[in-house]
Amino acid sequence: MPCARSPVDPAQGMNMYLDQPRTIYLISPQPWDGFKVSKHHYARALAEMGHSVFFIESGPTTKGWGRIEITDSEIPNLKTVRYAGYMFRWFRFRARGLYDALGPVKVRQLERAIGVRPDIVWDFDNLFQFRSLTLFDPALKIFHPVDSLVAGWTAAKDQDLHIALAQEFTDGVDPDRTPTLFVPHGLNPAHAAYAREVVSTPAVFSTAADRPVVGYVGNLSADGIDWPMIERLVRQNPEVTFRLIGPTGGLSDPNERSIAERLKDEPNCEMPGLVPVEKVVEQAGEIDLWLVCYDIARRPDAAINTHKVLEYLATGKAVLSNYIGAYEGTGLLHMPATHSNDDMPSILARVLADPMRTNTAEEMARRAAFAFEHSYAANLETMNRFLTDWVSGRVDPDPDGATAGKAAQVPA
Query: Model confidence over 343-373: pLDDT tens digits?
Result: 999 999 999 988 778 899 999 999 999 999 9
Residue 66 lies in a domain: yes
Question: Is the domain of 272 the same as that of 331?
Answer: yes
Look at residues 209, 245, 228 and name the one whose alpha carbon lies nearest to residue 352.
209
> Rounded to whole angstroms, how far apart are CA atoms 45 and 42?
5
Residue 290 lies in a domain: yes
Question: Is the domain of 277 the same as that of 317?
Answer: yes
Query: Model confidence over 297-348: pLDDT tens digits?
Result: 988 776 676 778 999 999 999 999 999 988 899 999 999 999 999 999 999 9
Question: Is the domain of 234 the same as that of 124?
Answer: no
Question: Is the domain of 111 the same as that of 203?
Answer: no
Look at residues 245, 217, 382, 379 and name the one whose alpha carbon lies nearest to residue 306.
217
Q: In total, how many domains does the chain have?
A: 2
**Cα radius of gyration rounded to whole Å, the chain:** 22
Mean pLDDT of the chain: 86
Residue 316 lies in a domain: yes
At residue 217 the predicted structure's pLDDT band, cuts being 50, 70 and 90, is: very high
Residue 379 lies in a domain: yes
CA distances from 297 to 65, 159, 233, 354 (A): 38, 31, 19, 31
Residue 55 lies in a domain: yes
Residue 109 lies in a domain: yes
Better pLDDT: 401 or 108 = 108
Question: Is the domain of 231 the same as that of 307?
Answer: yes
Question: Is the domain of 72 the same as that of 175?
Answer: yes
Query: Percentage of the chain surpassing pLDDT 70?
Result: 85
95 phi/psi in degrees, rounded to 5 = -145, 70
Question: Is the domain of 260 the same as that of 218?
Answer: yes
Q: Which one of 20-34, 85-99, 385-399 scores highest in mean pLDDT?
A: 20-34
Q: Which domain holds residue 289?
A: 189-372
Residue 4 lies in a domain: no
Question: Is the domain of 209 the same as that of 149?
Answer: no
> Rounded to whole angstroms, how far apart are CA atoms 95 and 92?
6
Strand partners, 187: 375
pTM of the predicted protein model: 0.75
Look at residues 209, 268, 214, 210 and name the one whose alpha carbon lies nearest to residue 238.
268
Question: Is the domain of 147 the same as that of 224?
Answer: no
Question: Is the domain of 163 the same as that of 239?
Answer: no
Question: Is the domain of 147 the same as that of 87?
Answer: yes
392 phi/psi in degrees, rounded to 5 = -80, -5
Q: In what order do the strands lie in the sheet with 289-292?
A: 269-273, 241-245, 213-217, 289-292, 318-321
| Residues 6 or more apart in contact with residue 217 via CB below 8 angstroms | 245, 246, 275, 280, 290, 308, 311, 312
Question: Is the domain of 127 the same as that of 219?
Answer: no
Residue 398 lies in a domain: no
Question: Residue 360 belongs to a domain with what CATH number?
Answer: 3.40.50.2000
